A and B are shown apart, each in its own frame.
Chain A
């Protein structure tokens, strides 16, 4: 086909057409801007959350690099370094582990780092510089604190370093430090290359083919690198290995922070549904605006077609108008979106900060704008598909035929021009007309009836506007019913049972891997300090040892009978084994049986849940009794392993056992227990004193305490200072802070939801205003004619208000129906996922919004009518141009 050079003229036509309609452009641009603003907000907030999650994962891993080879020789590293497809390559040389006694709990790896690798591994000094002289070192404030060395450049740092099995002592001078991270798997320290070379000479033997031994780590190169993209890292890494000529199983680590497993599916689903809602809302308004515009211009397009513009050219013209409006609308949307995001982010990020050191400051990312622009643009294009088709399909005869009939609105034309287009109508319409006419005879003509007829003649617009308005209302109602379902008592009692609770920071942090969780973190120092505080009323410790139960033949038989052959337990068994028959058999054999032994004080015993048998502290503390836990994973299964009165033996780590009588059966409250579970848990609870006797001296996993209410603020100030400055490894929770957390969580959802609903409502109302105003304008002559034949202005106004009222009525009906459906089918299941949710059915938010909606739908037509009445009837009856 011949490529026709007519772009210029089409562009001119489109641009002039667009410029001719200023006010309607403003509405279209506003609609596009609002849509973009919503997208920008969603992407900024959602993106930040995902990014922070990823960052938290990276901090845990201890690096941002995509992947890395381990234990390379210099020759091997040079091969990697030369690879052209890698974006960045850097390395560190392992020296050894610091083994000072103070660092027992804080595994600290010492290496030489290149500057880039230090940055990628979060150990580039914030104060000071990278080590240059042989005895210089960079460490984290956490490690320094543990060593008792002040965070001051030049401070002396005595270290014992284990290098390939040998321990060396060396005193370094601190040349820089950085903020350490409690959640990362190990701490790091950086020394100079000179020291590394001297203390750990680089081996030349490759570690690729042999299984590397622990005595051979020192001096080897750990190469970290970034690919151009973080997509499909496994494949990229395998290809790199091939390119480098390394064996397939060359020791390599891929940063799992990039593997996407960390991204919460529920969150992703939520974000996608919000995106879809925004898309739908944007579609509804932009489509409606263009639909109305095209119909208003239908004669004009018909005329263009008559003089030889093809359908494709008309389509291009409409699209071009849309593009040009996007050009204004999308950037304005960015600005609005950033503003909204700025308000929302602190609230949102406050909730999602993953631990103390993540900053909640959010940078504006380019991809957010690109994504928002792309989505907005897609919305615009989708919205234009049908209006463009209408413009393209316009019949050239229209232009000629309707020149004299005045400006007629497209959707209403069939009906109103019924008489003069008689020959063209088909029988179906004829029947409908006939029916309508006979109906009409029996009815009185009044403003309400006329409004009804007017509403009926452009049903499509009604559907779109009603959908647009309902979307906002339904969302608002759903958010409100979700928020109303949040039950503070349920929330608080699940998380804390006393005024305060303290434990190691890793204990309840699910981003910390199981192996790194510290279960004996409450120090003697802390307990001593605590006792010296004023106003402490009760203290209760919880100790924990994970010891797999060793069961007597007899007891084992009981379990076999009570659990494995119990039909009630089958679901749970099925669930833990994942339906794996072999695994289930192993469980049955007694393999994989996990157990925890708790030691508790009186305060905690009072909190035990669902007790069966008497929880008598005096009897319990004698040391002859044990409280047995139930089978099940914190759910309602709750089947007893043992019954009160039966005898069981509990063992310590050394394998020595003592026999106890089961005093009672009870559940450990979630807020007190250890929140990691094995597949099959058989737990026992001993009194504190007996526990310490059996297990030997230990530190509590968690300590609960209550405080006299007038002392609460003072104690809170003390403990907060203590956890920050004295023992940063400790983390406390207070009932007050949990209540606050609950409030902030509720506010977060309420705020994000209502803001979203507010913008959606704005879009809906804008859509309504545009529809109403254009429909009044296009019927100017018709109204003038009606006035000329005796319809009073007041009647006309009433008619218009009724038209608006019908929109409100339909919106109300649709919103009530959909809100109810969503409340039952979406809000309830979603809320039930949260332990502190209690579902309520509510339509109250709708009831409160509908009067406001009514006010809008009555006000807008009134204003339209008023402005229309400014010109005289005669003027309006003339052909409107």
Chain B
């Protein structure tokens, strides 16, 4: 089953001479449970692509389907609701809410949606990520690696269809990076989570099931899911 599919996705900035083609016709599919890495140099358009996939930004043309739903046609608030139900984000700079403690951060998307928290599931996620002893700490009291683990837990808590990670280890030293990535992969497998990660680090990308390379807004290789 295809969790994610894009259809000739384009994003242009500016007009005329100044026009920049950040994305120039991306066709991409991701299967249920797959771990995909997108690599590219700085300015290749990979971040823009991730924003499009997560419904953070709107394409100039083309379509994005998540769970067979065309999200490029949703209105702002509907997109927000879609995001908190279907997409989990992990950012380079963690982006935790500084005024909420670890547990509150993790369950925030569920609570925003007004849903009952699946305690058993959330506890398992917390367990796997080793955050059990930190639940009442504030983000500022945690190390970078711990903060990123909280961010991963938050992304998983609402059982999203798709987890998007944007340079998740960009701010971490190499040892912690290995730890975090290991956890990301393990939890992904454990919970059957579909994941898309962008990175410029080839070594990190090797942990993924599949790697696509993007340059000047186009996919160089690996656009179609294998088999």
Determine the residue in chain B with the shortest Cβ distance to A426.
B14
Determine the residue in chain B with the shortest Cβ distance to A396.
B56
B113 A6 Cβ-Cβ under 8 A = yes
- A401 CB to nearest chain B CB (Å): 9
- Is there a chain B Cβ closer than 8 Å to A13's Cβ? yes
B77 A307 Cβ-Cβ under 8 A = no
Distance between Cα atoms of A305 and B95 in the complex (Å): 11
B92 A881 Cβ-Cβ under 8 A = no
Given A5-B114, A397-B51, A397-B57, the answer on whether A307 and B93 have CB atoms closer than 8 Å is no
Interface residues of B in 11-26 (CB under 8 A from A): 13-15, 18, 20, 22
- Is there a chain B Cβ closer than 8 Å to A148's Cβ? no
- Is there a chain B Cβ closer than 8 Å to A775's Cβ? no
Given A313-B112, A427-B15, the answer on whether A303 and B95 have CB atoms closer than 8 Å is yes
A312 B112 Cβ-Cβ under 8 A = no
- Please indicate the chain A residues that have their CB under 8 angstroms from the CB of B14 in the complex: 423-426
B109 A308 Cβ-Cβ under 8 A = yes
For B80, give its contact among A13, A305, A397, A399 (CB under 8 Å). Answer: A305
A311 B77 Cβ-Cβ under 8 A = yes
- Please indicate the chain A residues that have their CB under 8 angstroms from the CB of B47 in the complex: 400
A17 B13 Cβ-Cβ under 8 A = no
B18 A423 Cβ-Cβ under 8 A = yes
Distance between Cα atoms of A8 and B112 in the complex (Å): 9
Interface bracket on B: 35 or more
Given A12-B104, A13-B97, A17-B99, the answer on whether A400 and B166 have CB atoms closer than 8 Å is yes
Determine the residue in chain B with the shortest Cβ distance to A881.
B140
- Please indicate the chain B residues that have their CB under 8 angstroms from the CB of A304 in the complex: 97
Distance between Cα atoms of A426 and B81 in the complex (Å): 30
- Please indicate the chain A residues that have their CB under 8 angstroms from the CB of B99 in the complex: 13, 16-17, 19-20
- Please indicate the chain A residues that have their CB under 8 angstroms from the CB of B76 in the complex: 310-311
A306 B89 Cβ-Cβ under 8 A = yes
B83 A308 Cβ-Cβ under 8 A = yes
- B24 CB to nearest chain A CB (Å): 13
Interface residues of A in 418-433 (CB under 8 A from B): 422-427, 430
- Is there a chain B Cβ closer than 8 Å to A404's Cβ? yes
Determine the residue in chain B with the shortest Cβ distance to A430.
B18
- B75 CB to nearest chain A CB (Å): 10
- Please indicate the chain A residues that have their CB under 8 angstroms from the CB of B83 in the complex: 306-308, 396
- Please indicate the chain B residues that have their CB under 8 angstroms from the CB of A306 in the complex: 54, 56, 83, 89, 91, 95
Distance between Cα atoms of A32 and B81 in the complex (Å): 34
- Please indicate the chain B residues that have their CB under 8 angstroms from the CB of A310 in the complex: 76-77, 80-81
For B98, give its contact among A20, A307, A311, A397 (CB under 8 Å). Answer: A20
- B64 CB to nearest chain A CB (Å): 15
- Please indicate the chain B residues that have their CB under 8 angstroms from the CB of A424 in the complex: 13-14
A9 B93 Cβ-Cβ under 8 A = no
- Is there a chain B Cβ closer than 8 Å to A4's Cβ? yes
- Is there a chain A Cβ closer than 8 Å to B189's Cβ? no
Given A309-B80, A423-B18, the answer on whether A300 and B108 have CB atoms closer than 8 Å is no
| Interface mask (B21-65 → A, CB under 8 Å = 1, otherwise 0) | 010000000000000000000000001000100101100000000
Distance between Cα atoms of A312 and B112 in the complex (Å): 12
- Please indicate the chain A residues that have their CB under 8 angstroms from the CB of B85 in the complex: 308
B112 A403 Cβ-Cβ under 8 A = no
- A540 CB to nearest chain B CB (Å): 82
B108 A9 Cβ-Cβ under 8 A = yes
A307 B104 Cβ-Cβ under 8 A = no
- Is there a chain A Cβ closer than 8 Å to B220's Cβ? no
Q: Apart from A13-B108, A309-B80, what are 6 other A-B pairs with CB-CB below 8 Å?
A: A9-B112, A300-B98, A307-B112, A308-B158, A310-B81, A427-B15
Residues of B bordering A, CB below 8 Å: 13-15, 18, 20, 22, 47, 51, 54, 56-57, 76-77, 80-81, 83-85, 89, 91-93, 95, 97-100, 104, 108-109, 111-114, 140, 154, 158, 166
> Across chains A and B, which 4 residue pairs bring their CB atoms closest together, nearest first?
A308-B84, A423-B13, A16-B99, A9-B111
